[in-house]
Amino acid sequence: MLPYTEQSVQLMHEGSLALAQVEHDGIRMDVGYLKGAIKKTERRIARLERRLEKSEVCVEWKKAYGSKMKLGSDEQLGKVLFDRMGFKSPGKTESGQHKADESSLAKVDHPFIQDYLKVKKLKKALSTNLNGLLALTVDEYLHPTFSLHVTKTYRSSSEAPNFQNQPVRNEMLAELIRRAFVARPGNHLVELDYSGLEVNIAACYHKDPTMLEYLGDETKDMHRDCAMDLYMLEQEEVTKQIRYYGKNGFVFPEFYGDWYIDCARALWEAIDKSHLVTASGTPLREHLASKGIRRLGALVPGEKPVKGTFEYHVCKVERHFWEDRFPVYAQWRKDWFTQYQKKGWFLTKTGFICQGYMKKNEAINYPVQGSAFHCLLWSLTRLVLQELPKKKMKALIVGQIHDSIVADVPPEELDDFLALAQHVMTTLLMSIWDWIIVPLKIEADVSPIGGSWVDKKPYDLSGIAKPRVRKKWKRYEPGTPEWMSYWKAHPEDQEEMVNYTRRIK
């Protein structure tokens, strides 16, 4: 019989009620824009396909397959590019076929490939996003479903439509699709995002002292330091873009169970893809060459990397990362998985049981992902079911994406809403769950009045005042037994209670 906790049951129950309210309120859609975007996207796809048909690649494709040619078949395209036209193959699958997925094709430097991948993305955006959103919009409002009973990690899921899977990283698709999500007339659309939530929650599990120092000291920067190691740079030479790849090309992949071979490939390709240069303007490829690194390496699993290659260097950085920088975190990963193997289950910080067959990375990541989302769920529930109704605010929460909340807020309530949300999502949450041992922070993005999801800009929270705390005795009606009981127990508040009674009379 596995243990369970009352708090987990309560969180799921109240969270379901709060998300039902979020679904009911819905998010406003710009239907006119949606209809226009659908027509423009259809015309754009048609133009690109006509251009594709005139390309030398398409001519060769027709020669190879004739009537069986299928524009959109990555397998056929791979054979044409790498067998017939002589482009360098990005590698082969276990079945011996050329890799022809999006990331592999993107490495082929040819205008046809750029247009081909763009068409695929636009077709998916047209069918899944634009047409799907329009079909599900009722009276200018979309009401996505949010569920808490689907994923193994106890995170939420979304459907009809999947609100949590609207494009954001691809600027072209984000602009195309997120512009359809708009604020109610006269309101702001606000997104509140936990900063580095999963890293913070992971630290609450493993308690690595170096990690806790990074998270507790704003002058320290883990991602910058790793970027310095990876690209062999001094601190002043690390640009924002180089730091980004240190974070997303190494630190996060390592935390989630990736290894040096994949990281080395991604970091090396990023140099050319993003034209990375140091802060003083030296191309990063030239800088690495000056350090003796001129080639990537073979990247063959099971074979030792060759000294002098970027692969060898990243392998050394990985070893330093786990053995020297975060040894306590590394040991926790081993111990946590060993305990899971013995018991077949584990209990998360928020009181949930994860059980059944899990790979090593899953057993290590699930408790972090679930507990991180539960921080958001607790905060959202508190805001929806208690704080906003109690303060009679008109602000509505209209969506959530694992570590962020999307809200629709009147201008006159904006600062009060942000102050309240910041208080609930950081201070109040940490007072309820004492296992959170690192400071939590949120970031806010706010659209112009009547603006769209894609129009949002960062909003400075430093000047936002803390929300006024309502006196406990104001919960009771004057003269009731509860009021009199509080009066007797708290003589320090009696004068203020008398004055309050006179004012309301």
**pLDDT 10s digits, 452-497:** 999 999 999 987 766 554 456 666 777 888 778 887 888 878 887 7
**Which residues are CB-contacts of 184 (< 8 A; sequence separation ≥ 6)?**
28, 408
Q: In the chain, which segments carry CATH 1.20.1060.10? A: 32-137
**pLDDT 10s digits, 343-374:** 999 999 999 999 999 999 999 999 999 999 99
CA distance 156 to 381: 13
Mean pLDDT across 120-134: 95
Q: What is the pLDDT of residue 339?
A: 97
8 A C-beta contact, residue 238 and residue 276: no
Strands 188-194 vs 442-446: parallel, antiparallel or unpaired: antiparallel
Q: What is the pLDDT of residue 469?
A: 46
Q: Does the pLDDT of residue 318 top 90, yes or no?
A: yes
The mean-pLDDT minimum among 89-93, 176-180, 321-325 falls in 89-93
Q: What is the pLDDT of residue 68?
A: 92
Question: Which pLDDT band, with edges at 50, 70 and 90, does 319 fall under?
Answer: very high
| DSSP secondary structure string for all residues of 167-182 | --SSHHHHHHHHTTEE
Q: What is the pLDDT of residue 97?
A: 83
CA distance 309 to 314: 9
**pLDDT 10s digits, 425-449:** 999 999 999 999 999 999 999 999 9
Identify the architecture of domain 32-137 in CATH.
Answer: Up-down Bundle (1.20)
Please give the share of the chain, as a percent, with pLDDT higher than 90. 82
CA distance 455 to 70: 38
8 A C-beta contact, residue 304 and residue 261: no
**Which residues are CB-contacts of 144 (< 8 A; sequence separation ≥ 6)?**
23, 27, 158, 159, 160, 161, 162, 163, 399
Which position has the higher pLDDT, 322 or 72?
Answer: 322
Q: What is the pLDDT of residue 98?
A: 84
- Cα-based distances in Å from 320 to 229, 259, 260, 288, 314: 9, 13, 12, 19, 10
| Cross-strand bridge partners of residue 353 | 347
Q: Is 92 helix (H, G, I), strand (E, B) or coil?
A: strand
Retrieve residue 388's tokens.
């906003």
CA distance 263 to 322: 15
Q: Does the pLDDT of residue 64 top 70, yes or no?
A: yes
* Average confidence score pLDDT of the chain: 93
**pLDDT 10s digits, 152-162:** 999 999 999 99
- Other CB atoms within 10 Å distance of the CB of residue 9: 12
Q: Does the pLDDT of residue 124 top 90, yes or no?
A: yes
The mean-pLDDT minimum among 43-52, 104-113, 139-148, 397-406 falls in 104-113
- Other CB atoms within 10 Å distance of the CB of residue 15: 22
CA distance 485 to 478: 11
8 A C-beta contact, residue 41 and residue 126: yes
Mean pLDDT across 88-112: 84
CA distance 372 to 216: 18
CA distance 97 to 457: 45
The mean-pLDDT minimum among 28-32, 60-64, 463-467, 498-502 falls in 463-467
Q: What is the pLDDT of residue 472?
A: 63
Question: Which pLDDT band, with edges at 50, 70 and 90, does 1 fall under?
Answer: low
Q: What is the pLDDT of residue 218?
A: 87
8 A C-beta contact, residue 297 and residue 179: no
Q: What's the first-to-final CA gap in the chain, in angstroms? A: 59
Please give the share of the chain, as a percent, with pLDDT higher than 70. 96
CA distance 219 to 217: 5
Q: What is the pLDDT of residue 71?
A: 86
Phi then psi for residue 290, to 5 deg, are -70, -20
- Other CB atoms within 10 Å distance of the CB of residue 385: 15
**Which residues are CB-contacts of 12 (< 8 A; sequence separation ≥ 6)?**
148, 149
Q: Does the pLDDT of residue 3 top 70, yes or no?
A: no
Which candidate, 205, 229, 203, 206, places its Cα nearest to that of 215? Answer: 203
**pLDDT 10s digits, 184-201:** 999 999 999 999 999 999
Single-letter amino acid code for the residue at 479: G
Q: What is the pLDDT of residue 480?
A: 81
Q: Is 29 helix (H, G, I), strand (E, B) or coil?
A: strand
The mean-pLDDT minimum among 81-90, 215-224, 351-360 falls in 81-90
| DSSP secondary structure string for all residues of 404-465 | EEEEEE-GGGHHHHHHHHHIIIIIIHHHH-TT--S---EEEEEPPTT-BGGG-EEE--TTPP
